[in-house]
C-alpha cells in the first residue's frame, strides 16, 4: 500500500516524560508510547504486532503484524521512533507493506472449505538484512486437526522478501519443525516465533515459542521446558545448527503458558531473549542467552528422553517489576536500535494486542550499557 498519512504519537500517553532511571540490571528506562485498541493507519487496523527490526541506514523500524489476512492482508509496518535527550519521544507510522506470495499477490484470508483449503501464513518474526537490503520473515504455520479426514496443515516457513514485500526465496526447515497431523513436530500456535539476523550477517536464528510434541511437555507452574532455536546459514538458506533454550516455569499469577516470544542477536552466539507469560497480569522477562557450550541438537528428533546441554541464560530485566512500565501488555518483539551519544545501545520492545479491545499496542525503549 502507498503512504497515505503520517501520524505522530505525541498526543497519546507518553510515560517517557518521567525522568529516566537506571535499573540494577544495567538497562535504563527511556520511555513508553501506547496506542489504543483498533487504532487505524493507512486503512488498516494496527494490531497483532509480533516482531520489530531496525534499519540503521534509513533509521526506520519494520514491524510485522500477525494478522492472517483476516482484517487486512498480511503485512508489515514502517515506523520512525524518535528519541531526544535520552528519552522516547514518539512513534510515527509511515507506511504499510503487504507481504506477497510466490505469485506476487497479497495472501488471501483463511478459506477452509475451498478445494484445496486456502490457509494463510501466521506471520510472527521479522529481521532486516542491511548488507543485502532485504527482509526475512517467519510464519508459525497452521495445525487444525479437529476433523481427521480434513486437517488444515501448513508448515512453518522462513522467507526472504524485498522491502516492497515481494517474495525472494524460502529457507529449508529441518524435519523437526514440520507440521504433522499426528502428535509430532510443533504444537498448534507454538511454532516459530522469534527471528533475528546476527550483526555479522552470516546467520539467521529462529526460535520456537514452546516445545514441539517430540521434546516433552509445555512449561507448568512447577517446571520449565526446552524449546528449540535453529541457526541458518544465510549464504545457503539451510539449517546448520540447533540449540535447546531453557524456558522458565509459568511465572504469571494463575497463568497458563510461558514461551519465547522473540530474540535479537548481539553477535553470532549471544542474544537478548523475551520470555512472556499470561495470567492475572502479564509477565515479560528479558534474558541474555548464549549458545556457547550448548549441544547441537539439529539431528536429534526428540529431547524428551535425554535432555541436552542447553543454552545458558542470565536475567537482564523483569519488566513486570519496573515501576515506570505502566499496564504491561503482551510483549512480543525486541530489536536493537541506534546508539545514543554516550555509546549505549537502544533496545526497543513492542507488544501484540491480539486485536483485543481490552489490550493496547505499546512501545518501550531502554538503553543498554
∠ Cα 69 74 76 (to 5°): 150
Q: What pLDDT was estimated at residue 1?
A: 37
Mean pLDDT of 312-328: 95
Q: Work out the number of other CB atoms within 10 angstroms of the CB of residue 242.
A: 25
| Alpha carbons 229 and 212: distance in angstroms, whole number | 12
Is 50 exceeded by the pLDDT of residue 14?
no
Q: What pLDDT was estimated at residue 44?
A: 99
Is 50 exceeded by the pLDDT of residue 2?
no
Q: Which residue segments constitute the domains of the chain, with CATH numbers given? A: 7-368 (2.115.10)
Residue with more model confidence, 22 or 210: 210
Whole-angstrom CA distances from 115 to 69, 141, 150, 222 are 19, 19, 11, 45
Return the closest-CA partner of residue 250 out of 259, 262, 242.
259
Return the closest-CA partner of residue 191 out of 259, 103, 133.
259
The 3-state secondary structure of 214-245 reads: HHCCCCCCCCCEEEEEEEEECCCCEEEEEEEE
What predicted TM-score, i.e. pTM, was given to this entire model? 0.94
Return the closest-CA partner of residue 362 out of 346, 347, 351.
351
Return the closest-CA partner of residue 176 out of 299, 29, 305.
299
> Hey, what's the cell of 33?
508510547
Return the closest-CA partner of residue 218 out of 189, 179, 253.
189
Q: Work out the number of other CB atoms within 10 angstroms of the CB of residue 234.
A: 19
Tens-place pLDDT, residues 250-304: 988 888 899 999 999 999 999 999 999 987 789 999 999 999 999 999 999 999 9
Q: What pLDDT was estimated at residue 369?
A: 86
Tens-place pLDDT, residues 39-48: 999 999 999 9
Spell out a b/e string for 50-88, using b for 16 or more CB atoms within 10 Å of the CB, else e. bbbbbbeeeebbbbbbbbbbeebbbbbbbbebbbeebbb
| Alpha carbons 71 and 118: distance in angstroms, whole number | 16
Query: CB of 15 within 8 A of CB of 32?
Result: yes
Q: What pLDDT was estimated at residue 39?
A: 98
Tens-place pLDDT, residues 51-84: 999 999 999 999 999 999 999 999 999 999 999 9
Query: CB of 315 within 8 A of CB of 322?
Result: no
Amino acid at each position: 500500500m502507498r503512504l497515505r498519512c503520517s501520524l505522530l504519537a505525541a498526543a497519546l500517553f507518553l510515560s517517557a516524560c518521567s525522568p529516566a532511571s537506571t535499573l540494577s540490571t544495567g538497562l535504563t528506562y527511556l520511555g513508553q508510547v501506547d496506542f489504543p485498541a483498533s487504532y487505524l493507519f493507512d486503512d488498516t487496523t494496527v494490531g497483532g504486532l509480533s516482531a520489530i527490526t531496525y534499519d540503521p541506514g534509513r533509521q526506520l523500524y519494520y514491524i510485522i503484524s500477525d494478522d492472517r489476512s483476516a482484517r487486512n492482508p498480511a503485512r508489515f509496518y514502517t515506523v520512525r521512533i524518535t528519541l531526544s535527550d535520552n528519552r522516547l519521544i514518539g512513534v510515527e507510522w509511515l507506511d504499510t507493506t503487504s507481504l506477497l506470495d510466490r505469485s506476487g499477490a497479497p495472501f488471501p484470508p483463511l478459506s477452509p472449505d475451498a478445494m484445496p483449503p486456502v490457509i494463510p501464513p501466521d506471520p510472527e518474526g521479522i529481521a532486516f538484512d542491511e548488507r543485502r537490503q532485504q527482509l526475512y520473515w517467519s510464519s508459525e504455520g497452521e495445525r487444525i486437526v479437529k476433523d481427521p479426514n480434513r486437517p488444515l496443515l501448513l508448515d512453518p516457513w522462513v522467507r526472504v522478501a524485498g522491502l516492497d514485500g515481494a517474495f525472494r526465496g524460502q529457507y529449508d526447515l529441518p524435519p523437526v519443525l514440520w507440521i504433522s497431523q499426528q502428535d509430532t513436530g510443533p504444537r498448534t500456535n507454538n511454532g516459530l516465533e522469534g527471528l533475528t539476523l546476527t550483526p555479522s550477517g552470516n546467520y539467521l536464528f529462529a526460535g520456537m515459542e514452546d516445545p514441539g510434541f517430540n521434546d516433552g511437555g509445555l512449561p507448568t507452574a512447577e517446571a520449565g521446558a526446552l524449546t528449540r532455536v535453529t541457526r541458518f546459514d544465510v549464504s545457503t538458506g539451510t539449517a546448520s545448527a540447533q540449540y535447546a533454550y531453557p524456558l522458565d516455569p509459568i511465572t504469571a499469577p494463575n497463568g497458563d503458558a510461558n514461551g519465547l516470544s522473540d530474540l535479537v542477536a548481539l553477535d553470532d552466539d549471544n542474544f537478548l531473549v523475551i520470555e512472556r507469560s499470561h495470567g492475572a497480569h502479564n509477565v515479560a522477562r528479558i534474558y541474555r542467552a548464549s549458545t556457547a557450550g550448548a549441544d547441537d541438537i539439529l539431528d536429534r528428533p526428540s529431547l524428551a528422553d535425554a535432555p541436552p546441554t542447553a543454552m545458558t541464560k542470565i536475567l537482564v530485566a523483569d519488566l513486570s517489576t519496573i515501576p515506570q512500565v505502566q499496564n504491561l501488555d503482551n510483549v512480543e518483539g525486541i530489536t536493537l536500535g541506534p546508539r545514543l551519544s554516550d555509546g549505549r545501545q537502544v533496545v526497543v520492545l513492542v507488544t501484540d494486542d491480539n486485536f483485543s479491545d481490552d489490550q493496547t499496542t505499546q512501545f518501550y525503549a531502554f538503553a543498554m550499557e
